[in-house]
A and B are shown apart, each in its own frame.
Chain A
Amino acid sequence: MDALMILAQEGAGLTGNVGSGLAAIGYGLGAIGPGIGVGIVAGNAVQAMARQPEVAGMLRTNMFIGMALSEALALIGFVVFFLAG
């Protein structure tokens, strides 16, 4: 926890407060999961499209739905970052 506080202080610089630095770190951590999730969704969708190009339209739609679902977490993180900052 101490290391985190130091990171936050560094991130907040001279003028900011520790809370905003922590928020930035929190958002960075929160974005890891959705980043991996979106990557998996897009990668598998591309693989599926390569295997069956004839259903590419349907796959693309479903890909965006899946991406939207997993991205929602990152978006919540983004909002929390602003709220905490």
Chain B
Amino acid sequence: MDYSSLLILAVEEGEASSAELLLPAWPELVAGIIAFAIVYFFVWRWVWPNMSKTMEARQAAIAGEVTAAEKAKEEAESLVSDYKARLADAKTEGNSIVEEARQTAEQMRTDIIAKAEADAEQIRAKAREDAAGEKARALADAKSQVGSISVDLAEKIVGESLDAQAHQDLINRYLSDLEKL
């Protein structure tokens, strides 16, 4: 079988020449113009604007996501710093409370001690005073009793004729000498 006849171009009289292949057929040209016009019009009027719309939507979505992420990050950071600040506050507050309590306790202790000391001092002073008063009274009692007793004793010893006044002076002098001792 002669396969080359597929490619060999029979140019006989009156038959179509292969050069015809090089010339556009008018009906097909018209169809091509219509088809390309449809495609171009569609692309120009519809695809191109829609494409930029799609790209804008995508850009907006990405930008929105980025800003949202940034916002979330900022929020998280502020939250963390907030917590940190609060934690630090709580720590210092705790410290100050402990310190205050310690100080109060210290204050209380010193107050109590001071008060106790003062009380003790007071009690001691009162006791001393009482003792002194008692001693003085006892001395005075003793003084007067010693005088009268000595007078009585002397009366009894020397008899009744004795000048009471003169003796009294003598006794007083003796007693004051005694006191000086």
**Residue pair A13, B19 in contact (C-beta under 8 Å):** no
Query: For A12, what are the chain B residues with a Cβ–Cβ distance below 8 Å?
Result: 8
**Residue pair A79, B22 in contact (C-beta under 8 Å):** yes
Query: For B17, what are the chain A residues with a Cβ–Cβ distance below 8 Å?
Result: 85
A82 and B4 in contact (CB under 8 A), knowing A16-B9, A20-B9?
no
**Residue pair A15, B2 in contact (C-beta under 8 Å):** yes
State the CA gap A19–B10 with chains docked (Å): 10
| B interface residues, how many (CB within 8 angstroms) | 13
Most central of B4, B17, B22 by chain A CB within 10 Å: B4
Asked if A14 lies at the interface with its beta carbon under 8 angstroms from chain B, I say: yes
**Residue pair A82, B5 in contact (C-beta under 8 Å):** no
Of residues 11 to 31 in B, which have CB atoms within 8 Å of A's CB atoms? 11, 17-19, 21-22
**Residue pair A13, B11 in contact (C-beta under 8 Å):** no
**Residue pair B11, A82 in contact (C-beta under 8 Å):** no
Query: For B8, what are the chain A residues with a Cβ–Cβ distance below 8 Å?
Result: 11-13, 15-16, 20-21
**Residue pair A85, B5 in contact (C-beta under 8 Å):** no
Interface size class of A (residues with CB under 8 A): 10 to 19
**Residue pair B22, A13 in contact (C-beta under 8 Å):** no
Closest A residue to B12 by beta carbon equals A17
Query: For B10, what are the chain A residues with a Cβ–Cβ distance below 8 Å?
Result: 15-16
Closest B residue to A14 by beta carbon equals B2
Closest A residue to B11 by beta carbon equals A17
Of residues 1 to 25 in A, which have CB atoms within 8 Å of B's CB atoms? 11-17, 19-21, 24
Query: For A13, what are the chain B residues with a Cβ–Cβ distance below 8 Å?
Result: 2, 4-5, 8
A82 and B18 in contact (CB under 8 A), knowing A12-B8, A20-B9?
yes
